[in-house]
Structure 1
Amino acid sequence: MEDANLTVGYVAERCGVKVSTLHFYEDKGLIRSWRNQGNQRRYKRDVLRRISVIKAAQKMGLALEDIKAAFLQLPNQRTPDKDDWAQLSATWRAQLDARIAYMQRLRDSLTGCIGCGCLSMAKCPLYNPDDILADDGVGPVILDRAKVPIK
């Protein structure tokens, strides 16, 4: 392909990733390269934006499978343009907001367990809702399950 003239080294340096990362992204179907007559990988310029989107999405905690699925929704699997980014980032923002809200609820629920130190307290919303662990015995039964027998 005539306009695929960026070398793997250039793309890696320009994007701040290792060459092996580019190979990994390619294996996962996130980016695409072409081979020149010497069988060397060459990339089109739009791969720089595509990798930037991948890195931004990863920083938000998205899995590569989710990023790939988002790319597959684009017409002809094109590199996201400004409008595509607006739509992708809005979707990802909602997911990030939901994760933040979950983590805040988790953080706010932890004080009871931290203050008590017992993971089987009667009303623990994390480990023992409605005291379901009472049937398993007394004390920190979850920790007791994790014990490895001493030989």
Structure 2
Amino acid sequence: MSANKTLRRPLRKDGLTIGEIAGRTGLAVSAIRYYESEGLITPWRNDSGQRRFERADIRRLSFIMIAQGLGASIAEIRAQLVRLPKGRTPTAGDWRRLSEHYRADLDRRIAQLEKLRNDLDGCIGCGCLSLERCSLYNPGDRAGGNGPGPRYLLGDSPGRD
């Protein structure tokens, strides 16, 4: 059966197989098993012992992929997923509350990258010929307080002055 037909297939009331979950999320079966072993998803077993997943697990796995893309560790993701309700499909409000955790971190990282971008413009213009004016490595000529000469070439670190 083609991947497109698998994706159009109606979701089953008796749970989804690991292959169906893999087809819906694009994850390898081994990755899904890994996330299960880490306690991020908890499938159940049918009468014949086959692993079955809830439809909500598709969203949980998507969240895991997104959170990992943001640099979150498995432990951090687990801590967030336990905040989701058990026994019912998470609502948009549940997911919004979860995303707030990442919003502050993303805002901090964006600000840090914007500062780096803006400081880099001054650094490239400087060409490291003027440590007195270098806003990236030597703002306010901090290195000059460590003594004469090329302080960073002599072993001083920009983070230690």
Q: Same fold (TM over 0.5)?
A: yes
Match of 1:138 in 2: 150
Matches within 5 A, 1:11-50: 11-36=21-46, 39-50=49-60
Show CA shifts across 1:14-72 (max 9, x none). 1111112212222332112234465543222221121122233344x141433222112
Superposition RMSD on alpha carbons, in Å?
3.3
Show CA shifts across 1:71-121 (max 9, x none). 122344965322111222334233322221221111101112222332982
Matches within 5 A, 1:7-86: 7-36=17-46, 39-59=49-69, 61-64=70-73, 65-76=75-86, 80-86=90-96
8 Å Cα contact 1:46-1:79 kept in structure 2:
yes
8 Å Cα contact 1:50-1:80 kept in structure 2:
no
8 Å Cα contact 1:34-1:42 kept in structure 2:
yes
Which region of structure 1 is more displaced relative to structure 2, 130-139 or 7-16? 130-139
Q: Please state whether the residue corresponding to 2:113 is helix, strand or coil.
A: helix
Identity of aligned residues (%): 46
* TM-score, normalised via structure 1 length: 0.70
Give the Å deviation of 1:10.
Answer: 0.9
Match of 1:96 in 2: 106
8 Å Cα contact 2:17-2:51 kept in structure 1:
yes
Q: Partners in 1 of 2:138 and 2:17 — Cα distance?
A: 56
Q: Partners in 1 of 2:32 and 2:129 — Cα distance?
A: 44
Q: Partners in 2 of 1:119 and 1:4 — Cα distance?
A: 69
Q: Please state whether the residue corresponding to 1:141 is helix, strand or coil.
A: coil
Q: Partners in 1 of 2:96 and 2:154 — Cα distance?
A: 45
In structure 2, relative to structure 1, the CA distance for the partners of 1:119 and 1:50 (3 Å cut) is farther
* TM-score, normalised via structure 2 length: 0.66
Question: What runs of 5+ residues in structure 1 fail to find an aligned partner?
Answer: 146-151
Give the Å deviation of 1:142.
Answer: 8.4
Q: Partners in 2 of 1:25 and 1:142 — Cα distance?
A: 48
